[in-house]
Chain A
């Protein structure tokens, strides 16, 4: 048992740290650390920097343009990027559809899409959920009917994150209505610029435009855009969900948020003293910190098992639940820390370049909106209730 990095790993960490320090634009990390609005260009800037370096897909096999790194190296990269305030990578291409394509896709699909995912030329979004099919995803109704060498797609997807920027969407569609409902589902890659697609914004309670409705009306999709076999979409989707869940723990980002929380609590005053000296508040910070320490080790245990050849299994659900609970607790404490200055709602000021007079401390502005926005993390990616069902069924056999 040894919880320390080896000398090689330490050397690698120093290399990563130096690279991130040298290449991450300060303006960008400031936005990330201070919870300011990130636009499409911000995400792309960082993804392209990593791409140039060859580090955009550490988890992909080398033959497809990835690094083929082991879990520890991946962890180190994630840790260093998050700590420095790099924007999160948009997962839809890199962590979701990419692995599906290189695992189950045709040679043509691999050749066409994988390089464009790596270079961020295509922005992908995920078309799974529908108005009537959230947790019960297998009940989805969007139809794809084969007509010659096309599928004709009709239906509606919803909650589609950042579809407003997307060039491509990977969809679960129903190709058969007979038999088990899971078996009638197929996995289609659809060009978002196709005629018949309409994207409508859904504004969330924090006032943000992050999710959308995507409507399909007689959208013609070439059959070569089917991944794998017809009717096997559910298997591919489950493969993908387990990938989504290992990323969702977000330990490294939570560590950065924790540091920010402490910095705020040191600046806020309470009864003439720094808030962080208020034992009642400090205890709450410490408790989250301890939970986070535990989760980090749990994540490393799961990663170690994965490196030893175990596929990510239901343990990923534990990471998702604890990771999201910690993320929410941190966002809650940050909002609480700034007291009355959580109240002003002035999105225009959440920018590095606001020239006017600010209301309240600069760090306080976005914190309430962020708290409300973070309610999503226990809902999406398989809600925490569903994750608990998975653990109780798959691990505990209940």
Chain B
């Protein structure tokens, strides 16, 4: 058992920490949030230069070759600085999804473009009315000559409008709700028939509603195996969940530090308010919640790479459930302990709290994951297929 970072991991943590200290202060972030595109191309370039955009990419493909723990290190730092960069969709989700089931051509083409910062991706998995269910896929894809024709709508696609390429789940067979029959496609947002509506989300990010109206994509836009994408979607989302859990820990640490500082400096009744025992105990509870969250983020980071799907599901959902709860407590109490100041847009506190609330909503809230945790073993765990089984036989 070893909870220490390796020298390489330590260097990664120092590098991103230093970079964000300099380039992502709260004031800089405020400007980025208010900018037209809602993220910072300069920061993105800087992250590329530091190799951060290749953290989960295999070493033989030119990446850092990192796993869940390396992603956790990066996400914690991004959380502490309330980053709104499209890191989650592009690096954590798209790069690992392509890495898991992409063809050699797809990897050779995309991974270098992701790593050098010239391409951003977004994953469009959710649909209106589907809440958090990944198999609620009503968008359809049918084959027509050498093309796939896609029709449907995708909801709340994080960074959907700044993406140069979308990864879209669509049904190639079966009925909405079926686990079988879901496929993944690359869709160029500039393609005829792709409609988009961008909007800000309350936590300073951007998202989009995307519609697909007879969108024609080429045959090699299929990612992985036709009809068998759910396991890789689930893996990709689990990686995203482990990542946002780490991000939440970064947010909670920053909130707790700010609140502790406030308890020591804000005076009422002639003493720092941190002298009132009820606030001391509250702060202690906030810290305990954060420690528990950190433990679970760590567990999720390690187990997200576990080949045992049930193990992975249980750990990831347990982490998300606990962090949903602890994030809510820490967020609400951080505002409460700051009094009126906690309610302002001016202080960072409210912004951290909003991000924590949004994290609970992303990829399933605490209740959703409580259920997924409890039923992890009963839910089928199909293998992740990169190539059709039929082709294996031919080999």
Contact = CB atoms under 8 A, between A and B. Distances in A.
B199 A375 contact: no
B339 A205 contact: no
B156 A372 contact: no
Contact of B332 (A271, A343, A375): A375
A36 to B, nearest CB: 16
Contacts of A51: none
Interface residue tally of chain A, by bracket? 35 or more
Nearest to A137: B268
* Most interface-central of B362, B367, B371 (chain A CB within 10 A): B367
Given A158-B340, A385-B278, A343 B358 contact: yes
B129 interface: yes
Contact of A345 (B155, B197, B202, B371): B202
Given A270-B131, A339-B131, A136 B340 contact: no
B339 A135 contact: yes
Given A269-B131, A280-B371, A385-B279, A205 B340 contact: no
A289 interface: no
Contacts of B136: 272
Contacts of A207: 345
Given A269-B129, A271-B133, A203 B357 contact: no
A237 B6 CA distance: 61
A136 B269 CA distance: 5
B43 interface: no
B354 interface: yes
B25 interface: no
Interface string A334-375: 011001111111100000000001011000000011011001
A299 B71 CA distance: 52
B354 A372 contact: yes
Interface in B260-303: 267-270, 273, 276, 278-279
Nearest to A369: B202
* Most interface-central of A205, A339, A344, A369 (chain B CB within 10 A): A205
Contacts of B343: 204-205, 211, 375-376, 379
A378 B201 CA distance: 25
A129 interface: yes
A339 B365 contact: yes
B190 to A, nearest CB: 21
* Most interface-central of A207, A281, A372, A383 (chain B CB within 10 A): A372
A204 B353 CA distance: 13
Nearest to A138: B269
B119 interface: no
A275 B362 CA distance: 18
B149 interface: no
Given A343-B156, A344-B207, A375 B336 contact: yes
A342 to B, nearest CB: 6
A340 B361 contact: yes
B345 A281 contact: no
> Is the contact region of chain B dominated by helix, strand, or loop, or is it mixed?
mixed
Nearest to A371: B357
A391 to B, nearest CB: 12
A35 to B, nearest CB: 14
B199 A359 contact: yes
A344 B199 contact: yes
Interface in A205-254: 205-207, 211
* Most interface-central of A269, A328, A343 (chain B CB within 10 A): A343
Contacts of B335: 205, 375, 379
A339 B278 CA distance: 33
A388 B345 contact: no
B131 A268 contact: yes
Contact of B268 (A134, A280, A340, A357): A134
B342 interface: yes
Nearest to A336: B365
A346 B209 CA distance: 13
B20 interface: no
A332 B332 CA distance: 11
Given A339-B365, A343-B202, A205 B269 contact: no
Interface of B: 126, 128-129, 131-133, 136, 155-156, 177, 197, 199-203, 207, 209, 267-270, 273, 276, 278-279, 328, 332, 335-336, 339-340, 342-346, 350-351, 353-354, 357-358, 361-362, 365, 367, 370-371
Given A207-B345, A379-B339, A388-B278, 7 more contacts: A135-B268, A203-B344, A204-B343, A340-B132, A343-B358, A368-B202, A385-B279
9 contacts: A136-B268, A205-B344, A205-B345, A207-B345, A341-B156, A343-B156, A343-B203, A375-B342, A375-B343
